[in-house]
Chain A
């Protein structure tokens, strides 16, 4: 009876030890694995690439940790992952810290309004004025006589950074709401007839209306040829002084190769090559 108990106890201890070992094992990168960490906006494109890459290289495990651009950059800096993913260009202090960026693709940022909104087109300047609070009523831009409700993303978000730097509204936006995900922005705009927001082009759906900017509709062709002006880079971040592992290098080459262009396009963004 007693020995039975100790056996069971020993078994539990072993299981616990194994579980613990597995938990700690996760964060380490070993040969045959590629770990990426970063931008949540890049989830779709990196998911497609990772899947195709693993299909070709059965012995390599590909992981993606959707933590956000800032966290991803920090992770690669601290060596916690092979490749960092950022949906904004690196800042100067990050480059000075020994990091290199490689543009993987361009993502258009769509300016979205409620389907009931009569406005279909705004130019960049008007969008900037609206977000700065200089235009506060839809009637001033050809809509109903209602107050404009500004929806944006939280400080530090790649989409917000991209939108504000392109429209020249950095630190001047009079947001009514600062939401933490693209999905939240779309849901909120679809709920409020007076709302205006911005979101990744790839996330635009029927539940909201994407405005044309200066007469140019946001789509892959207009982002690629540069005529649609609100767009931002998707960046692979690597460390200067550390060589990528063989597996990680293989993925890096794959993602930046001509073969990947079609896959990247299938994720709704425009390949850089």
Chain B
């Protein structure tokens, strides 16, 4: 009996250690990635010069002499993400209001099912459909020589960020206390007035978090945009072939060597800093809620 108790205690201690260890693995991974990115990313920045690297507008990694300016990638990532937000947020936000407040249960279950499904589609499939359907149609519709462009990437990204925006916004809207809305309705406001004047302002920090989450998803996406954006390192323009921060790393990594390879790690470091900023913004909004 006593033996059993002692064994139980030891077992508890062992399991505690195991859980602690598993928890530390996660923290360790984050630390490892951060430290590795900084170590791998800094040498090239030092060799190229931070100003030349971040503000240079020409990227010719294998030219002689090479030039490593990533301003086109930074601008493209910002423009692309902004474009996706401009298109994706209104659609996602209004869908969320509809789902949370207006939709009948039957319609709601169908639409939420579709949204979940959209979230589950792998990004390479978005890219493939974009490449085979969207790109040729953009070419035809706008009478440009080639459809692979920033515009195609924005459309694909806007669709890809919809599920995150919708799901988080719906949760935020549903958390608004019923009494707020009842009070507004009792004062004579129509339901739609109530939703936009009472529910939405009450859920605004949650909705802001949804937008930030969408930004994070859009700026980090590589596969789908690589397949539709053309990947030429141009300064961003709506119907020009462009390259994002993510695709700049992904597209040249396979064959890169020497300084070119180091510079790709530096791009990853810049991207990592962007993501950290977005994460900090997300935490800020979530805490506020």
Contacts and interface: CB of A to CB of B under 8 A. Distances in A.
A154 B4 contact: no
A154 B231 contact: yes
Given A155-B62, A191-B136, A178 B231 contact: yes
B254 interface: yes
Q: Top 8 nearest A-B pairs by Cβ distance?
A: A156-B255, A68-B254, A171-B63, A177-B230, A70-B257, A147-B145, A178-B231, A155-B62
Nearest to B15: A9
Given A2-B11, A69-B255, A176-B241, A156 B62 contact: yes
15 contacts: A2-B4, A6-B11, A68-B254, A71-B255, A93-B258, A156-B61, A171-B64, A176-B145, A176-B230, A176-B241, A177-B148, A178-B231, A180-B231, A187-B132, A188-B131
Interface in B221-236: 226-227, 230-233
B136 A177 contact: no
Chain B, interface residues (CB within 8 Å), range = 35 or more
A180 B241 contact: no
Interface string A67-89: 11111011000000000000000
Given A68-B253, A178-B231, A188-B131, 15 more contacts: A2-B4, A2-B7, A67-B254, A70-B257, A148-B145, A154-B252, A155-B255, A156-B62, A156-B260, A158-B255, A175-B232, A177-B146, A178-B241, A180-B250, A191-B136
Interface in B134-154: 135-136, 139, 145-148
A73 B257 CA distance: 9
Contacts of A178: 230-233, 241, 243, 251
Contact of B251 (A73, A93, A154, A161): A154
B252 A155 contact: yes
Contacts of B260: 155-156
A146 interface: yes
A83 to B, nearest CB: 18
Contacts, number: 102
A93, A154, A171, A194 — most chain B CB neighbours (10 Å): A154
A100 B260 CA distance: 22
Nearest to B128: A187
Contacts of A127: none
Interface of B: 4, 7-8, 11, 60-64, 131-132, 135-136, 139, 145-148, 226-227, 230-233, 241, 243, 250-258, 260-261
Nearest to B260: A156
Contacts of B60: 155, 171
Contacts of A147: 145
A264 interface: no
A149 B241 CA distance: 11
A162 to B, nearest CB: 12
A35 interface: no
Contact of B131 (A94, A161, A187): A187
A184 interface: yes
B9 to A, nearest CB: 12
Contacts of B4: 2
A170 B257 contact: no
A192 B136 contact: yes
A231 interface: no
Contacts of B146: 149, 176-177, 192, 194-195
Nearest to B247: A180
Interface residues of A, number: 39
A40 B255 CA distance: 10
A94 B145 CA distance: 40
A154 B255 contact: yes
Nearest to B64: A171
Contact of A177 (B64, B241, B252, B256): B241
A91 B258 CA distance: 11
A176 B230 CA distance: 7
A180 B251 contact: yes
Interface string A127-161: 00000000000000000001111000011111001
A179 interface: yes
A68 B255 CA distance: 5
Contacts of A40: 254
Given A40-B254, A154-B255, A180 B136 contact: no
Interface in A1-23: 2, 5-6
A180 B257 contact: no
Interface in A188-212: 188, 191-192, 194-195
Nearest to A74: B257
A243 B68 CA distance: 38
B109 to A, nearest CB: 38
Nearest to A161: B62
A148 B231 CA distance: 17
A156 B263 CA distance: 13
A45 to B, nearest CB: 18
A176 B232 contact: yes
A161 B230 CA distance: 19
A67 B256 CA distance: 11
B87 to A, nearest CB: 23
Contact of A2 (B8, B132, B227, B231): B8
A40 B261 CA distance: 18
